[in-house]
């Protein structure tokens, strides 16, 4: 069996968490004071979870739920950066790097536009890539489904990776 990966690969990441009132929301490695929080076993950062799964998917590695099961106490309230850094470690072990990430956050509230540039900069720094390699867009649910009713927040990410 040939374990050498093709020079260019893509991965798709997706995550959704329930939204409840109170507290702060962590998204894109930023804490936003908005009297809303995402419910999850870890810090529930949907964007970082989707990025992690996109990277892992690009190299055919197990997903975030398999690597960091929510029934393990060490993952309770865990920082999503731990998940992302493990995905990057695995990516680099395959001698691959991120070419770019294209991300979409789906949320009724809070409005994401004021935070997007800071999220891009924070994620680029954490990933040790250029800010122009991280694109983030935000959409509302247009009052449709759990996102549109303000019951959930979701993120979708496509990662393009290439051989180092």
85 vs 87: CA distance, rounded Å: 5
Share of the chain above pLDDT 70, in %: 97
In a domain, 19, yes or no: yes
What pLDDT score does 76 carry? 84
* 24: CATH: 3.30.1330.50
> Is 3 part of a structural domain of the chain?
no
pLDDT of residue 77: 82
pTM of the model as a whole: 0.95
Query: Which residues make Cβ contacts (< 8 Å) with residue 35, sequence separation at least 6?
Result: 21, 22, 23
In this predicted structure, the answer to whether residue 119 has a pLDDT above a threshold of 80 is: yes
- Cα–Cα distance, 68 to 74 (Å, whole number): 9
Token representation of residue 3: 């374990």
Owning domain of residue 132: 8-163
Any alpha helices (H) in 1-153, and if so which ranges? 46-58, 64-67, 80-93, 116-127, 145-148
Residue 90 belongs to some domain of the structure: yes
> Stretch 99-109: mean pLDDT, rounded?
97
Q: What is the pLDDT of residue 2?
A: 53
Q: Which pLDDT value is given to residue 1?
A: 46
Cα of first residue to Cα of last residue in the chain, in angstroms, is 22
Residue with the two structure tokens 């804490």: 31
Residue 2 in any domain: the answer is no
The pLDDT tens digits for 30-70 are 999 999 999 998 999 999 999 999 999 999 999 999 999 88
Number of domains in the chain: 1
């Amino acid at each position: 069996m040939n374990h050498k990966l093709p020079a260019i690969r893509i991965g798709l990441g997706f995550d959704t968490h329930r939204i409840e009132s109170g507290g702060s929301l962590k998204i894109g490695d930023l804490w936003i004071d908005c009297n809303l929080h995402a419910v999850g076993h870890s810090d529930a950062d949907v964007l970082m979870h989707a990025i992690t799964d996109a990277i892992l998917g690009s190299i055919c590695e197990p997903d975030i739920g398999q690597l960091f099961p929510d029934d393990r106490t060490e993952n309770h309230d865990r920082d999503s950066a731990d998940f992302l850094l493990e995905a990057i470690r695995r990516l680099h072990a395959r001698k691959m790097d991120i070419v770019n990430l294209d991300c979409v956050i789906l949320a009724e509230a809070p409005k994401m536009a004021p935070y997007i540039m800071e999220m891009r900069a924070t994620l680029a720094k954490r990933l040790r890539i250029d800010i122009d390699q991280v694109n983030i867009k935000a959409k509302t649910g247009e009052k449709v489904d759990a996102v549109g009713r303000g019951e959930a927040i979701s993120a979708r990410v496509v990662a393009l990776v290439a051989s180092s």
